[in-house]
Structure 1
Amino acid sequence: MTAIEHGFLLTRDSHDHSRHTEIILWVTTPQGPARLVIEGEQPVFLLRQDQAERAEQALDEAGITTRSRPLDMHTFAHQPVVAFYFLTLDRARKARRLLKERGLTLYEADIRLQDHYLTERFVYGSLEFTGQPRDCGSYTEYRRVRVRPGQYQPSFRVVSLDIECSAKGELYSVGLSGQSDRQDNDGLVIMIGPQPARLEGDTAIHWVENEAGLLTALVEILGRWDPDIIIGWNVINFDFRLLLKRAERHNITLLLGRGEQDWQKRVHWRERAGENEQGFITIPGRVVIDGIESLRAATWHFDSFSLEFVARTLLGKGKDTEDVDNRMAIITHDFHHNKEKLARYNLEDCRLVQEVFDHTRLLDYLRLRSQLTGLELDRLGGSVAAFTNLYLPKLHRAGYIAPNLPEGGGLASPGGYVMDSLPGLYDNVLVLDFKSLYPSIIRTFLVDPLGLVEGLKEPEEAVPGFRGALFSREKHFLPEIIRSLWAQRDEAKREKDAARSQALKIIMNSFYGVLGSGGCRFYDTRLASSITMRGHAIMQQTARWIEEQGYQVIYGDTDSTFVHLGAELSEEQADNVGRELEQMINTRWRQTITEEFQLESYLELEFETLYTRFLMPTIRGMVTGSKKRYAGLKKNKDGTELVFKGLETVRSDWTDLAKTFQIALFEKVFAGESPEQLVQDAVAETLAGKHDDQLIYRKRLRRRLDEYVKNVPPHVRAARRADELNRQHGKPERYQHKGWISYVITVAGPEAVEWQQSPVDYQHYIDKQLQPVADGVLPFVGLDFLALVDNQQGLF
């Protein structure tokens, strides 16, 4: 009997070989890497039966061999379909192009052969397989392979990579840290230059003669270390982009992948044209994962995604300097005069990236996401692909094929519910949140693509949605998918598995957006509207029920309701009201949904927070209540905590002056103390230059400098002036190709911090930083900023 092996997918690909197809799956197994070769799978696409004869005739005339057969499957319009099979990928590509030119409609023609093979077998990340093994030295190759879903939890071999180079992109060194042929190690730096007679430190350095030697050594060492995963910081669009450019310059092919033949090891690079100039890299048998994009995919947020900033925020440590000019100058100096110091610096970057990955459990998150959805480890975003992977094989078994993308991108669906707020300074404000509102609406009201098709076909017993939607009570998949993910998340929470819980939350919450996205083949405005508009109705009815109890709803936002109880209640009494409202609302929804729809309610309201003091501001310069902006004071285990949402304190585009002033101002107001002296002191001290270290703006340049034409904001003006001065002083330009700039407003206008030559415009900071913050609070305590500070300003 053939042994059953266990593995986890690293890379997948397909190609034509000897007049048939091969799917190549690279997996990591308990015994090491393995190459699975699946032969003879046929590319397929579908057409409506009424177009099949025209398609067959067109293909026959073009000499493209195909095999077609009717399927017991239908489009969402209940039209029967025919499948067209091809022996090779090349024939399928030519057939697709030809039939589209003839105006025929193809279905599921864009699904890659390897993805079709895996998802139809419900293989997501982990798998079990059988096959005929062949020992290839560093890996095992299997043929006559069969696969099925598995539960294997891999232990990846991970290497962190970082390069150092000149301002012109000339390579100096490459640092590697992680797991090598010697297991865990202290890292290695490949350095250009002659080996010194004596080294002072213990950094392992592999010396090479020149840049070509560095690239050749990188291929040899990575092949020997044989990692499953290569990590880094901007590692794809900087490090690997530059490595490939320098290799091309030296006519060197980077054979960094796994395999016996050179063509099997070749690195593949593709680039998506557009504003971001995003590059994508494929290395057979290895996965390259960028720390920045992976953190974003896992919903981490930082004011800056520089390695220095993220490392200091998460780990409490960073590099010696984050000043770009100084760092580049130091790197170049050390390359020529102190290569051992440069090697230590290079390796420090590698280790910081490793520690950030370990601290955030990024690889755990990506592994879990792959096991849940079938997404590749390095697939960033991918919500549409994740939904398709989960939904399509179930749909096929129900006798339907997927629709194509909507023409023109589809119609916009309503957004989340946001209530007009009642501005004011309040005592005792409860926040009641619906737990995962949109997923719970999908579960409760059976919102589902197949359910919509079947509900419209048999409307008598269907569940009503919005915009004409009707959903089948019996035939649907998405509510069960949500139920399964929900149960797994509850289990992850009980086990305190934060990475797993976060992966499940992101996947579950993405399904509404997918159904409302014109980039998804299952898009239908009736689906997304039946979620968001149901959310509107739920929030509005919840508010009415609360107000029937004699309490005031002052704000509502997507899934949160803010309830003012009044100052006469103690903290304990307010807590009791919160629990009573939670229980009452959940009971009312269970009763209502049972009576009106004959369905079980999965809506769950939670009493989340009690703010003992709370401020809902107005829109700046108006009397209308603000939205998504508030501040509150709540108790925690360490005492009290100030919470800001959408205000200057939590926004990266405001100065530290505004942030520290706002915190101090709210502390005064929430404590019931007069803020008059605080405001006057803040203005006087700013005018006296006592807060100059807090006046720096930091903003991102999202485009090239020459692309700002009509509207030129202050940070762009500062960047242009800084690079003009850089050129005059023989320094490299810093700001031409996006990035971040720190600047101050001076009497001569905005100036970059490193090139500040004019006195600070203090009045700007009074008018644009202190006054807007104060105006958001002072009217609620009967004060006016200008009236308080006019005398102070007159003294300077």
Structure 2
Amino acid sequence: MIQDYYIIDFSYDVEDNKPLIYIWCVDKEGNRVVVLEKNFRPYFYAVLDDNPDIEKITDEIKKLSTPASPITNIDQLERKYYGNPVKVLRIETIIPAYIRIYRDQVSKIKGIKEVVEADIRFYMRYSIDKNLKPFTWFKADVEEIPNEKFRVKKVYELKNILETYEDKPPDLKIMAFDIEVFNKYGSPNPRRDPVIIIGVWTDEGEKQFITDDDDLKTIREFSNFVLNHDPDIILGYNSNRFDWPYLLERTKLRNVKLDIGRKINSEPTQGTYGHYSIVGRLNVDLFGFAMSIEEVKVKSLDNIADYLGILPKTQRVNLEWYQIPEYWTDDKKRKILLQYNLDDVKSTYLLKDAFLPFGEQITTITGLPLDQLSMASVGYRVEWLLMREAFFYNEIIPNRVEREYESYKGGLVIPPKPGIHEKVYVLDFSSMYPSIMIKYNIGPDTLVKGECDNCWVAPEVGHKFRKSPDGFYKTILQKLVEERKEVKSKLKEVENEYERRRLDERQRALKIMANAFYGYMGWLGARWYSKEGAEAVTAWGRETISEVAKLVQSEGFEVIYGDTDSVFITAKDESKINNIVKEIIDKFGLDIKIDKEYEKIFFTENKKRYAGITKEGKIDIVGFEAIRGDWCDLAKNIQKDVIVKVLTSSIDDAVKLVRETIMKLRRREFNIEDLVIWKSLDKDINEYNVDAPHVNAAKKAMKAGYAIFKGGKIGYIVVKGNGKISQRAEPYFMVKDKSRIDIDYYIDRQIVPSTLRILEQFGITENTLKNTGINIMDFFNKK
């Protein structure tokens, strides 16, 4: 029979010594079903030397076959490798795990140049070959079979895939969860500390599972709820690093399985990119998506929800993790803790509207399931798209190899003209680097080493790229760019709100993927790596910006700053601005637009550091500590407020604001939380040789019983004392008394330096800011 299915995820298993792929779906009636593929087999390629003895090589490969997973097929094929035609052997076996065993053995056979595509996960290999992607529909000829081990409505055996297509998705069931644990002795330890609360949130509202005496009962109640509610997507926040491993360890201690998958007797297992996979469901850790929000330095759930306006801090319970035991053991405070858990899980659930629509579009572009996508870097997302396209174009997928770091020159920066400027236009090239890659056919497969009569030659670096035929990168980039144009065109015509949101997320996803290609090409972990290509792109970019600057100056504009793909200009005759934009497009063949108009903007002497107020009244801050650097919140906030004063009021008002802040510090009119300095721990504590404040704070936290891990952040406060600053750094949660805090440090090393970065451009000195005494003449002037 012919049926239509909406794909959620893929997984596989080996049964009766044969691989079985599960396609987890929703049918047109809204039933959760699984479609079984029983006939697909794992394979890899052996790239042959020139003029190989194919018959002899084939015989050698056949000798490697083992009864546990015999080599069932060896086919000779023609493929392209970096654009060049090659002869390959396609070697097929039965058990996916044996691919790597055969890979190592086959690579040693004489006449084989390289073994490739042996490291592609089996179910992803299937999805690539069959052009199946999550969040898309496919029509198939299937046969219904008995359901003996799946928590779904129906089970089908796949006979034939007829077509894939896009259509309105079914309503997916989404559930968020969050756990709290009783960590009386420091950082939570699953072998010791019980789970005390598990909060969940669905479209039906909230529910909590609360421990009375045994948390195994609580965990079982939670797992039963998951099975009964049967969500397609389970949301968490930092759940891959905390909630799931904690729950799994707690159940493991009791020899119990956390059986919550759609296959009976399956529990979450850790997979690629560190995510936990739940069979038949998408376990999506939203922390992975939150990592892309650069404006939020400490990406805690409450900070992200507050920044996005999902659940402001002023409207929720705010607790620190180390306060949980206190609030749990105090009957009067326990209700506050329970509300804290609900606020967390509600925030997680509501974040779906901020992250999932975009994630779904990236999934349909790359084919990477949403749970893996959330944790995968941009480079891996680009790579999965390239791998899919490689199969379509008969391109061999290169192996991933280890490379040593190689530096190359980046984009051009035209030094800024310090001070305040008015009526400033920002001319921005739309997707400059992808456009350059398309225009000059740049890629590892088009690179020519040696003589070439029909090549583009990059300025400065001299790398050559053939003009035709189109390379792998160019072909795919053109597809992304063209689809984005089509989507944006549809957006103008669509009135339905859902469809508008979907199309807008689609065009944004296409843009981000296209813009990521240059970075991917220069990424050392890339399969399709090309240092020459990355160097050439930046070289053409530098030449373009330099020539644009000369052109606009010749037309009477003043260039006050330039950076990579944009120039900041002022004009005596503003009526000429649109004409210069058209002239640039005509001359360089690249799209450029007026990206912003600043009523007022100021620059320091440093590149990539400016702030301005736009025509619409929005304040833009770039490169200052307000959005970067390891500064306390008070320093960041006062700097931002100073910037606003400079742009909207006066320098005098900005100085007055700094002085008032210093006075409040001296009077201890502040919140301790505003003085916390956050710093990442890039190494294990015992690997640090430096006497740094954050390292000493981390050591003190560990001594007090708190676990501190590599890759996390430590927040510290500088307190009074005779030692060096690094020795006076205390973990923020160990400082309760304001009188212990070194106020002079925060004035001299935080408030004054952060604000002087702006105000010193206008002749303001440190003494000016710290002179907080009352001027007697001011008193008489007020009279």
- Same-fold call, TM > 0.5? yes
Match of 2:257 in 1: 253
Unaligned 5+ segments in structure 1 are 179-183, 194-208, 273-277, 590-600, 619-625
Q: What is the identity, as a one-letter code, of the residue corresponding to 1:612?
A: E
1:326 shift after superposition: 2.3
Aligned equivalents of 1:253, 1:430: Cα separation in 2:
61
2:137 to 107, 118, 127: 127
Aligned equivalents of 1:24, 1:788: Cα separation in 2:
67
2:696 to 717, 724, 736: 717
Match of 2:659 in 1: 681
1:470 shift after superposition: 1.5
1:630 shift after superposition: 0.9
Check the 8 A contact 1:686/1:762 in 2, yes or no: no
1:369 to 353, 362, 378: 362
Per the normalisation by structure 1, the TM-score is: 0.82
1:502 to 508, 516, 523: 508
Moved more, 395-404 or 279-288: 395-404
1:143 shift after superposition: 0.8
Aligned equivalents of 2:630, 2:388: Cα separation in 1:
46
Secondary structure at the counterpart of residue 27 of structure 1: strand
Judging changes above 3 Å, is the alpha-carbon distance between structure 1 residues 286 and 458 closer, same or farther for their aligned structure 2 residues?
farther
Unaligned 5+ segments in structure 2 are 184-191, 495-499, 723-727, 777-783
Judging changes above 3 Å, is the alpha-carbon distance between structure 1 residues 513 and 485 closer, same or farther for their aligned structure 2 residues?
farther
1:214 shift after superposition: 3.0
Judging changes above 3 Å, is the alpha-carbon distance between structure 1 residues 176 and 760 closer, same or farther for their aligned structure 2 residues?
closer
2:232 to 208, 228, 235: 228
1:480 shift after superposition: 2.4
Aligned equivalents of 1:35, 1:187: Cα separation in 2:
29
Match of 2:244 in 1: 240
Task: For 1:399-438, list aligned pairs within 5 A.
Answer: 399-408=394-403, 411-438=406-433
Cα deviation digits, residues 149-177 of structure 1 (max 9, x gap): 22142321111122222114312232222
Aligned equivalents of 2:340, 2:669: Cα separation in 1:
34
The answer as to 2:208 corresponding to 1:189 is yes
Match of 2:312 in 1: 316
Aligned equivalents of 2:174, 2:321: Cα separation in 1:
28
Judging changes above 3 Å, is the alpha-carbon distance between structure 1 residues 474 and 327 closer, same or farther for their aligned structure 2 residues?
same
Secondary structure at the counterpart of residue 583 of structure 2: helix
Secondary structure at the counterpart of residue 626 of structure 2: helix
Cα deviation digits, residues 212-249 of structure 1 (max 9, x gap): 33333333332221111111121222111111101110
Q: What is the identity, as a one-letter code, of the residue corresponding to 2:165?
A: G
Match of 1:140 in 2: 154
Aligned equivalents of 1:39, 1:676: Cα separation in 2:
71
Aligned equivalents of 2:587, 2:143: Cα separation in 1:
61
Judging changes above 3 Å, is the alpha-carbon distance between structure 1 residues 100 and 409 closer, same or farther for their aligned structure 2 residues?
farther
Judging changes above 3 Å, is the alpha-carbon distance between structure 1 residues 479 and 321 closer, same or farther for their aligned structure 2 residues?
closer
Judging changes above 3 Å, is the alpha-carbon distance between structure 1 residues 446 and 74 closer, same or farther for their aligned structure 2 residues?
closer
Match of 2:189 in 1: none
1:634 to 597, 601, 614: 614
Moved more, 57-66 or 435-444: 57-66
Moved more, 465-474 or 538-547: 465-474
Moved more, 158-167 or 781-790: 781-790
Could you say what the CA RMSD is over the residues aligned between the two structures, in angstroms?
3.5
1:780 shift after superposition: 3.8
Work out the percentage of aligned pairs sharing the same amino acid. 21
Check the 8 A contact 2:659/2:771 in 1, yes or no: no
The answer as to 2:678 corresponding to 1:699 is yes
Check the 8 A contact 2:659/2:772 in 1, yes or no: no
Aligned equivalents of 1:210, 1:763: Cα separation in 2:
50
Check the 8 A contact 1:166/1:332 in 2, yes or no: no
Match of 2:706 in 1: 733
1:83 shift after superposition: 1.5
Match of 1:154 in 2: 170
Judging changes above 3 Å, is the alpha-carbon distance between structure 1 residues 489 and 333 closer, same or farther for their aligned structure 2 residues?
farther
Secondary structure at the counterpart of residue 611 of structure 1: strand
Judging changes above 3 Å, is the alpha-carbon distance between structure 1 residues 355 and 605 closer, same or farther for their aligned structure 2 residues?
same
Task: For 1:534-613, list aligned pairs within 5 A.
Answer: 534-565=540-571, 569=572, 574=574, 576-589=575-588, 601=589, 603-613=590-600
1:210 to 204, 207, 214: 214
1:100 shift after superposition: 4.0
Judging changes above 3 Å, is the alpha-carbon distance between structure 1 residues 606 and 99 closer, same or farther for their aligned structure 2 residues?
same
Check the 8 A contact 2:47/2:88 in 1, yes or no: yes
1:345 shift after superposition: 4.7
Match of 2:122 in 1: 113
2:328 to 331, 334, 343: 331
Judging changes above 3 Å, is the alpha-carbon distance between structure 1 residues 488 and 133 closer, same or farther for their aligned structure 2 residues?
farther
Secondary structure at the counterpart of residue 89 of structure 1: coil
Q: How many residues align?
A: 722
Secondary structure at the counterpart of residue 681 of structure 2: strand
Per the normalisation by structure 2, the TM-score is: 0.83
Aligned equivalents of 2:688, 2:387: Cα separation in 1:
46
1:84 to 80, 88, 91: 91
Aligned equivalents of 1:783, 1:217: Cα separation in 2:
63
1:782 shift after superposition: 4.0
Q: What is the identity, as a one-letter code, of the residue corresponding to 1:418?
A: V
Aligned equivalents of 1:111, 1:550: Cα separation in 2:
57
Match of 1:204 in 2: none
Secondary structure at the counterpart of residue 144 of structure 2: strand
Judging changes above 3 Å, is the alpha-carbon distance between structure 1 residues 309 and 43 closer, same or farther for their aligned structure 2 residues?
same
Q: What is the identity, as a one-letter code, of the residue corresponding to 2:729?
A: P
Aligned equivalents of 2:633, 2:201: Cα separation in 1:
37
Task: For 1:8-47, list aligned pairs within 5 A.
Answer: 8-10=7-9, 12-30=10-28, 31-47=30-46
Judging changes above 3 Å, is the alpha-carbon distance between structure 1 residues 680 and 377 closer, same or farther for their aligned structure 2 residues?
closer
Cα deviation digits, residues 766-792 of structure 1 (max 9, x gap): 332343245434454344333675695
Check the 8 A contact 2:480/2:510 in 1, yes or no: no
Judging changes above 3 Å, is the alpha-carbon distance between structure 1 residues 396 and 656 closer, same or farther for their aligned structure 2 residues?
closer
Cα deviation digits, residues 245-283 of structure 1 (max 9, x gap): 011100012221113x53xx343235x8xxxxx743121
Q: What is the identity, as a one-letter code, of the residue corresponding to 1:616?
A: F
Cα deviation digits, residues 667-716 of structure 1 (max 9, x gap): 55445554696278348625742654486133044257733632233244
Cα deviation digits, residues 510-567 of structure 1 (max 9, x gap): 11112222222211223323322221111111111111123332221121211244xx
1:629 shift after superposition: 0.6
Secondary structure at the counterpart of residue 559 of structure 2: strand
Match of 1:96 in 2: 103
Moved more, 410-419 or 783-792: 783-792
Q: What is the identity, as a one-letter code, of the residue corresponding to 1:784?
A: T
Q: What is the identity, as a one-letter code, of the residue corresponding to 1:134?
A: I
Aligned equivalents of 2:701, 2:11: Cα separation in 1:
47
2:344 to 342, 345, 349: 349
Check the 8 A contact 2:78/2:86 in 1, yes or no: no
The answer as to 2:756 corresponding to 1:761 is no
Match of 2:186 in 1: none
The answer as to 2:200 corresponding to 1:176 is yes
Check the 8 A contact 2:441/2:470 in 1, yes or no: no
Check the 8 A contact 1:412/1:516 in 2, yes or no: no
Aligned equivalents of 2:774, 2:609: Cα separation in 1:
30
1:434 shift after superposition: 0.9
Judging changes above 3 Å, is the alpha-carbon distance between structure 1 residues 578 and 641 closer, same or farther for their aligned structure 2 residues?
same
Match of 2:628 in 1: 651
Q: What is the identity, as a one-letter code, of the residue corresponding to 1:224?
A: N
Aligned equivalents of 1:386, 1:688: Cα separation in 2:
50
Judging changes above 3 Å, is the alpha-carbon distance between structure 1 residues 92 and 641 closer, same or farther for their aligned structure 2 residues?
closer
Match of 2:725 in 1: none
Secondary structure at the counterpart of residue 221 of structure 1: helix
Cα deviation digits, residues 555-586 of structure 1 (max 9, x gap): 21121211244xxx5xxx54x34333322322
Aligned equivalents of 1:734, 1:43: Cα separation in 2:
43
Judging changes above 3 Å, is the alpha-carbon distance between structure 1 residues 159 and 679 closer, same or farther for their aligned structure 2 residues?
closer
Secondary structure at the counterpart of residue 213 of structure 1: helix
